[in-house]
Structure 1
Amino acid sequence: MNGPDVIIIGAMKSATSTLAAQLGAQSGVFLTNPKEPNYFSDDDIYAKGAAWYGGLFAQAHADDIRVEASTHYTKLPTYPATVARLKATGLTPKLIYITRDPVARLISHYIHEWTQGVMTCSLEEALERHPELVDYSLYGKQMTPWVAAFGADAILRLTMEEMMEDPHSVLARVGDFIGRKDLAWRDDLGRMNVSSERIKRFPMHGLLFDNPVAQTLRRTLVPKALRDRLKAKRQMPVRPELSASARAALETVFAADAKVLNDHFAQDSGLNPAKSKDTA
């Protein structure tokens, strides 16, 4: 099966898009389009078959390092078949797992879903209604089937915090892991997929707001004061915060899971447990 040499497997809202963009900008590295095919996780995409997935890499040169990045691959229990499907192919890609402070990731996840109109309630109410907010931050739980199937040595564990603090060193670690010593961080690319404005999207949002023609017409015909008022109605006014009790309860859960994660990577002494610098 034609497939990847490297897969960035998550975690969601942990700078996976930024790292994928950096790799895709390197000479001799081929990044799939779409960047995030979610082939092994999503049933409807998996049904497209191995030929479809292999075709994503058809334009790669023979000596390219082929990369894809799908955060759905570490979204248990939502996508339970991912690891078994990849294992069954016989492929043995190198795997990169990026995490961040689990509470910060959870909040950024909630903001993302709020902008998409998926979660319309408060953050703490969403914790009750949407257990995936916590599940996807249980990094030890997410890594358990991956380590069992491919071994800890096949997985490079990074944090978003260390990438923000010293991106050049992080990319050098990635290069060592994938067998490329010449990777160079592109400062001009910036961060990808950052929802700093926290603007709620809706059907036809891309056509009405992201389209250059629509942008020109809107700026020409609609007074700025009115545009600002309309934007404010779609904007999350302040970043949501957890109550002290809710945060304490979550930190107890995440501390227990962190032990599971560290046990999986007991030999990994290079991880920098930097404090969160959440900006989403």
Structure 2
Amino acid sequence: MLPNFIIIGAMKCGTSSLYHYLRLHPEVGMSEIKEVDYFVAENNFDRGAAWYESQFKGDFKKYGEASPNYSKAHYFTGVPQRMYELLPDVKLIYLVRDPIERIISHYTHNYSEGREHRSIEEVLDGSRDNHYLMCSKYHWQLKHYLNYYPADQILVMPSYILKDQRRRALERIFGFIGVEKAYYNPAYGEQKHATSQKRRKGRVSRFILESPVIKTLKHFIPDSIKDPVKRLTRPPVAKPTLPPALRHELTEYLRPDIDQLRTFSGYSFERWDM
């Protein structure tokens, strides 16, 4: 029982929402955990194919998972090759978002988690092959898959369509993976994982919150207790604004890649300022 489709990314583009929506389809079985990361050698590949297969349970027509780390070829190498050797017929879904807004969201996420301590200007000024930028080079990421998979096994989906035209987006995705595309659940009308006020973890709180004991217990602590504690112990994080000159510089740098993505996907990405 191996997956028929995989959401390969991109990070901060709606993969958690799509994972949730797909779980609601009666013909779809999603992995027990969202980010299985099996094909990332540094994470779970050594666990073996039997472990990977064990992540998919139940009696469904199609099975899938969602691991945004699969579209970080600059950081995790060899993912498409390992995937192809096990799953040559798998369908790949790639969610994409305005590349500059994705970078800002990615930075804000890392800053709030206590993984990033520099300003966004420090992060982005200078090197053009840093982690934040490379995750937004969508066509460059896809090229690594196109060395193994034909284009008709890859679906690019703009996140703004999934958000604002959800029925249209889900019909296309359901049809692509081979399940009843007319299916619609009333819960699809709800906005999942909507952006909320980010709060910054300090080094001590991050150490405590990421301990195995706390990670286990937090699932049993109600939000009515967790939320006030977060507000008291973690300062709010404001979404940064890029200086106009830096935004223009990054846009010009990313534009050739986005133009290639337009050609590949058939989408104009008219809402992007590119």
TM > 0.5: yes
More off after superposition, 39-48 vs 12-21: 39-48
Distance in structure 1 (CA, Å) of the matches to 2:189 and 2:5 = 24
CA-CA distance at 1:47 after TM superposition: 0.7
**In 2 relative to 1, CA 89–217 (structure 1 residues): closer, same or farther, beyond 3 Å?**
closer
Q: Contact conserved, 2:70 with 2:76, CA < 8 A, in 1?
A: yes
**In 2 relative to 1, CA 150–164 (structure 1 residues): closer, same or farther, beyond 3 Å?**
same
Distance in structure 2 (CA, Å) of the matches to 1:262 and 1:217 = 43
CA-CA distance at 1:188 after TM superposition: 5.6
Distance in structure 1 (CA, Å) of the matches to 2:227 and 2:165 = 40
**Do residues 203 (structure 1) and 207 (structure 2) align?**
yes
Q: How many residues align?
A: 260
Distance in structure 2 (CA, Å) of the matches to 1:198 and 1:273 = 27
Distance in structure 2 (CA, Å) of the matches to 1:91 and 1:204 = 41
Distance in structure 2 (CA, Å) of the matches to 1:105 and 1:90 = 29
Q: Secondary structure of 1:97's partner? A: strand
**In 2 relative to 1, CA 17–216 (structure 1 residues): closer, same or farther, beyond 3 Å?**
closer
Map of 1:213-224 to 2, 5 A cutoff? Answer: 216=225
**In 2 relative to 1, CA 38–188 (structure 1 residues): closer, same or farther, beyond 3 Å?**
same
CA-CA distance at 1:116 after TM superposition: 1.2
Distance in structure 1 (CA, Å) of the matches to 2:162 and 2:86 = 32
Look up the match of 1:183. Answer: 183
Report the AA paired with residue 207 of structure 2: P
TM-score by length of 1: 0.84
Look up the match of 2:241. Answer: 241
Look up the match of 2:269. Answer: 273
CA-CA distance at 1:146 after TM superposition: 1.1
Q: Deviations over 1:30-72 (max 9, x none)?
A: 0101111011024231011111101112x231x4210100100
Look up the match of 1:25. Answer: 24
Distance in structure 1 (CA, Å) of the matches to 2:33 and 2:48 = 16
Map of 1:56-205 to 2, 5 A cutoff? Answer: 56-57=55-56, 59-61=57-59, 63-128=60-125, 131-180=130-179, 181-185=181-185, 186-187=187-188, 189-192=190-193, 194-201=194-201, 202-205=206-209
Distance in structure 1 (CA, Å) of the matches to 2:103 and 2:161 = 18
Q: Secondary structure of 1:77's partner? A: coil
Distance in structure 2 (CA, Å) of the matches to 1:216 and 1:168 = 35
Q: Contact conserved, 2:96 with 2:157, CA < 8 A, in 1?
A: yes
Distance in structure 1 (CA, Å) of the matches to 2:226 and 2:254 = 48
Q: Secondary structure of 1:68's partner? A: strand
CA-CA distance at 1:196 after TM superposition: 2.1
**In 2 relative to 1, CA 251–32 (structure 1 residues): closer, same or farther, beyond 3 Å?**
same
CA-CA distance at 1:274 after TM superposition: 4.0
CA-CA distance at 1:189 after TM superposition: 4.6
CA-CA distance at 1:5 after TM superposition: 0.6
TM-score by length of 2: 0.85
Report the AA paired with residue 275 of structure 1: R
Distance in structure 2 (CA, Å) of the matches to 1:41 and 1:132 = 16
**In 2 relative to 1, CA 124–188 (structure 1 residues): closer, same or farther, beyond 3 Å?**
same
CA-CA distance at 1:152 after TM superposition: 1.1
Q: Secondary structure of 2:155's partner? A: strand
Distance in structure 1 (CA, Å) of the matches to 2:13 and 2:109 = 12
What runs of 5+ residues in structure 1 fail to find an aligned partner?
none
Q: Deviations over 1:121-176 (max 9, x none)?
A: 11111225881100000001001011221111101110111112211110011111
Q: CA RMSD in A?
A: 2.6
CA-CA distance at 1:3 after TM superposition: 1.5
**In 2 relative to 1, CA 45–217 (structure 1 residues): closer, same or farther, beyond 3 Å?**
closer
Q: Secondary structure of 2:271's partner? A: coil
Q: Identical aligned pairs, as a percentage?
A: 27
Q: Contact conserved, 1:30 with 1:66, CA < 8 A, in 2?
A: yes
Q: Secondary structure of 2:148's partner? A: helix
Q: Contact conserved, 1:3 with 1:91, CA < 8 A, in 2?
A: no
Map of 1:48-63 to 2, 5 A cutoff? Answer: 48-57=47-56, 59-61=57-59, 63=60
Distance in structure 1 (CA, Å) of the matches to 2:105 and 2:113 = 12
**Do residues 257 (structure 1) and 237 (structure 2) align?**
no
Q: Contact conserved, 1:98 with 1:158, CA < 8 A, in 2?
A: yes
